[in-house]
Chains A and B, each alone.
Chain A
Amino acid sequence: MKRLFTQILNRLQLPESWIIFFILGIIMMTFPFLQIFNKPTILFGVPLLFLYLMVGWIISIIVIYLFMLASRHANKSTEEKIEP
């Protein structure tokens, strides 16, 4: 489990990952994707689009948080490499 987490953090250090998530975010906020959720229905008592946007927002914040952890992780491991 911990290994998997470290592995994810390592992957997130790549600049490509940043750009992929950035583009993914834009895609999810534009036409074809938005069409799926742009319906006046209710899910768990909450309007679908409202739920989609809010949950998506939280996920994006978590992703950025992970990115930040990854970059700290990277800094730490390079420091460790330099020190001994």
Chain B
Amino acid sequence: MNSVVSSVAAIAFLYIILIFLIAWYAHHRKETGRSIISNPVIYSLSLGVYCTSWTFFGSVGKAATTGIDFVLIYLGPSLTAFSWLFLLRRIIKISKEHNITSIADFLSQRYGKSPWLGALVTVISFLGIMPYIALQLKAVSTSFLLLSGAQKDTFAYINLGTGISIPISLFLALTLALFSIVFGARRLVSSERHEGLIAAVAFESLVKLVALLVVGLFVTYGLFNGFIDIFERFRSINPDQFSQLFTFNTSKNDPNYISTFTLLFLSMGAIMLLPRQFHVMVIENSDESHIATAMWLFPAYLFLINLFVMPIAIGGILFTGSSSGADYFVLSIPQLAGHHYIALFAFLGGFSAAAGMVMVESIAISTMLLNHIFMPIIVRCTPQAWFPILLINLKRFGIVLVVLLGYFYYRVIGDSYTLVNMGLISFSAAAQFMPAMLGGLYWKRGNKTGAICGILFGFLIWLYTLLLPSFSKSGWISESLLSNGPFGIALLKPTALFGLTGMDLWSHSLFWSMLFNIGSYIICSILLNQNEQERDQVHKFIGIFSREEVHRRTERTRLSKPVTTDQFIALMSKFIGEHEAQRSFLLYSNERDISGDEAVSEFELPNLKRFAEKTLAGSVGGAAARAIVNNFLSDLGSSMEPVYDIFSSIRTNLDQNRESLFVRLKASEIINRTLDLQVIMDDLLRLLVKEFKLDVALILTKNEAGTFSVISMQGENLSDSNPPLWYLENVPYINLVYRDQKAHFINDLQLDRATPKLDQTVAEGFISCAHIPVFREGEPVIAVLSLFSKSIAGLFTQEFIKLLSSLTGQLAQAITIVHEVEAKQLERSQKEVALLQTARITRDMEIAQQIQESFLPDSAPTIAGVDIAGHCISAAHVGGDYYDFFLREGHIVDIVIADVSGHSVGAALIMSEVRTLLRAEANSIHTPRVVLETLNNQLHDDLSRAELFITMFYAEYNAETGILSYSNAGHNHPVLQRTNESLSQELDTEGLILGVKKDVLFEERSVMLTSGDVLLFYTDGLTEACNSNAEMFGMEGLYSLLKACGHLSATEIIDLFYARIHDFTGSQNLQDDISLVVVKKH
């Protein structure tokens, strides 16, 4: 241990502290919400973790020994970058969706969350990465020894002061492991991004790039005069080596494109599939949009880091005279040239490259170890309170394990391989994931068995053809195995399997492993079927880009026994801690609009279970999370069971399936076939029972008293004699359905969750039932459809209830239509009856009118000295007006005019009675007064019973004397118009209306008619006739008209009056009867 060693160690230590500060700062920024990592440039730089110390030292080594083909290791990733926009974006989207933690998790989740596949991928990654870690340890410790001037090829020891000394590479390994733990395993959640780690990695990427550029510039322009100078010199000094190094060829100088392709292929796969690449690219990606920048920035990074590799290699050969020790030209040339600071910088660059790789790789692998190796064992135990502590420490242990295994490999293989060759072993291992990965992303048929077989066979061949020879080269395994094959069988020689020779080690291994890998993946996938879980995952992975898939997903499983949200949270707390569990549930419940204390709907439970699984997957990986949740459920006595698939799995695009469409079609046929509701309901129930294998289906309706009656009931083996009344205990549920207008169902009656209990129903052997309201949107429930099944628990899925609700909707529509049709028919028949009746009445009235008209005298009697005329026009069909003449002894005429109140049939009847009585009286000689008095007494009873009255004016004219005697019973006063106007008068006497009271005395008066007198008898219809302005014809109208027509005959006067009245009212129909009698004295 000289002072150089300690100063180099001190600088390295300071550098580590710097990186630590950067990481801490990034972490701090993240905590305060101002991430410096979420940035496309940082993302691209972090991808530079691809360039390890293999790139830093090994590229130059390979360039100086085998030539330019080292470039292929970097051209491959540049080409792969073309595919990122669709390939990487898809992977990132899926990973974020499912909280994926590693490539093992990704593959395991894609293939039905298979724990076996996850474990297999983990083991391959773990073993495959071993040479790679060893390579880093070797590079750093060798470079450290070189820089500090110690002898190389010896394992140096560091004295820790107390007499214990440990190998420097082991010390380095432990330091790096510690570093990884600090950055990557402080918390358990692995799907979360480690911003501190990424900041450190990005910084290291920058340092190694700058370091290599500095060395390159120093060699190219410091020691030589640029590229052309180096190439020209080399060509002139050693043309043979020149042509060997600057072409793709074998050692025999033949062009060799097989190894070219192998390198290209391996590197193209490695950039995506190495666990650390997957980690920085996918798990640590903060924003999908960063991919676009990384797509050109990362190839540019690779280009820059490789630009000076060839000049350094050639310069090194020129400078040192040979290509021995070319692996460390980057360090040794500046040192030999005396530029120690450049050499130191180069050392830091190499250290950065190694540290970044070891950190990310060990974290990625330890996550896989925890999730896919340790967890499957842990989940078999009952969760304990100290589980979170155990898990995080297991993760830390994993990191140490990975690094130490790398150290072990380094100690065994040591210097027998160059850096590049060690790296390629790891690349070949990672390539085994490629078929399952690409197939998983784009091929729906790719199944679990195929993936496991493919990866397993590929891995075994890799183990046999690559890893084994690497051990035997170091002498750890006997050489005879390589040269003669196992047990002397030449066909099984690891380097020439089945006699395949003429290929380099890598191409040979790649060919056989890929042949078996792809072959068995495809064959198994084609021959075998996927199970339900796998199909589910395929939809999630391949369907992620098709929008249709997302909407089409329907629940195919149900929890047999419901679990509360609290129980889920408690479960999650056991693995990820109380705080974390509460936090994620809060996020989830906000999104889905549910709360912790509420009962969760049966259809929501599978989602809740998925959420618990996904959250746990973020910490322990998909397969383990699935096992944890499933164990938990089975402990509770619950399990995910497939929904009874009432419909077949053939679906049309409209989320309909054949069966459901068939039932809908049949139902609408039934509904439209008839208007008989009973037939419709019976047929509909029969259809449901038959198609869905129900045991009983019935339709109940509530009557006004609140009790239910069965309208229709159908089912298998229903006995008519003994009416089953068990369904009555379902009434509380049916009432609920009436109230909520929502379907109510119990998918498993045996779980005593149902309150009120349905003991009789259970005793009848029913295990599930549903009550679906029959109603139209926005209207009250008409009836309830109740379905019972004896055979299938969990029959009533969301889908099925939806179908049933739509059927009951149709039924409600049909019921409403039938009711409407019935109501219309009733109305129509009622109208017909009414019309008929009206017609009959009208006819009767017409007859009555005819009869009544015949009661009025046809013509006035002819008597000497006077001209008499009378006429009546009725307003209604029958009226109450009456006038009559009775001629006695040839010279006496009795004139009567009367008006029965109202225009009813009653009035008409009274009128005819009056007529009969008067006719009987008229033959005997009475004065008007006596006639009225007699009439009053005779009619009183009839009139008061009918609540009618009669006004009557009775006059008696004696043509011999010319005297008119008269009595009035409340009738309009007849007007006597005389030629001498002053003598004109209205005739009136004292007396009451007929029918008011009995034994009324009437006054009688008389008047002498002289020549030219016109006497007008009229009923109130004349004076009360109204025009459109509601003005009455009145007495004035009467007088003026009468005055104007004194010269006319009696008939003409009547005609004139009627004409004038029609003019006045403006209509042919009168409001009231008008009767007129005119007596004119010659």
Contact = CB atoms under 8 A, between A and B. Distances in A.
Interface stretch (B74-82, B216-224, B375-383): B74-82
Contacts of B260: 29-31, 34
Contacts of A25: 78-79, 82
B387 interface: no
A46 B310 CA distance: 11
Contact of A29 (B72, B255, B293, B310): B72
Nearest to B83: A22
Given A22-B83, A30-B257, A54-B307, A60 B227 contact: no
B231 A46 contact: yes
A45 B225 CA distance: 13
A53 B71 contact: yes
Interface stretch (A3-11, A64-72, A76-84): A64-72
A67 B292 CA distance: 9
A34 B257 contact: yes
Contacts of A48: 246
Interface string B287-316: 000001101100110010001001000000
B299 A57 contact: yes
A47 B246 contact: yes
B82 A18 contact: yes
Contact of A26 (B79, B85, B242): B79
B48 to A, nearest CB: 15
A49 B68 CA distance: 8
A interface secondary structure, majority = helix
B322 interface: no
B228 interface: yes
Contacts of B79: 22, 25-26, 29, 60
Nearest to A23: B82
| Size category of the binding interface on chain A | 20 to 34
B86 interface: yes
B interface secondary structure, majority = helix
Contacts of B300: 61
A57 B81 CA distance: 12
Contacts of A18: 82-83, 85-86
Contacts of B71: 53
Contacts of A47: 68, 231, 242, 246
B869 interface: no
Contact of B255 (A35, A58, A65, A72): A35
Contact of A46 (B81, B227, B255, B293): B227
B296 A68 contact: yes
Contacts of A34: 248, 257, 260
B78 A61 contact: yes
A66 to B, nearest CB: 9
Interface in B79-131: 79, 81-83, 85-86
Nearest to A39: B247
B68 A50 contact: yes
Contact of B82 (A21, A40, A42, A72): A21
Interface string B46-75: 000000000000000000000010011001
A32 to B, nearest CB: 9
A25 B296 CA distance: 15
Interface of B: 68, 71-72, 75, 78-79, 81-83, 85-86, 227-228, 231-232, 235, 239, 242-243, 246-249, 255, 257, 260-261, 264, 292-293, 295-296, 299-300, 303, 307, 310
14 contacts: A22-B82, A25-B82, A29-B75, A31-B257, A34-B257, A38-B249, A42-B235, A46-B231, A50-B68, A57-B75, A61-B296, A64-B295, A68-B295, A68-B296
Identify the 6 closest CB pairs spanning chains A and B, nearest first: A40-B243, A45-B228, A47-B246, A22-B82, A31-B257, A64-B296
Given A53-B75, A61-B296, 9 more contacts: A35-B255, A40-B247, A42-B235, A54-B303, A57-B78, A61-B299, A65-B296, A67-B85, A71-B85
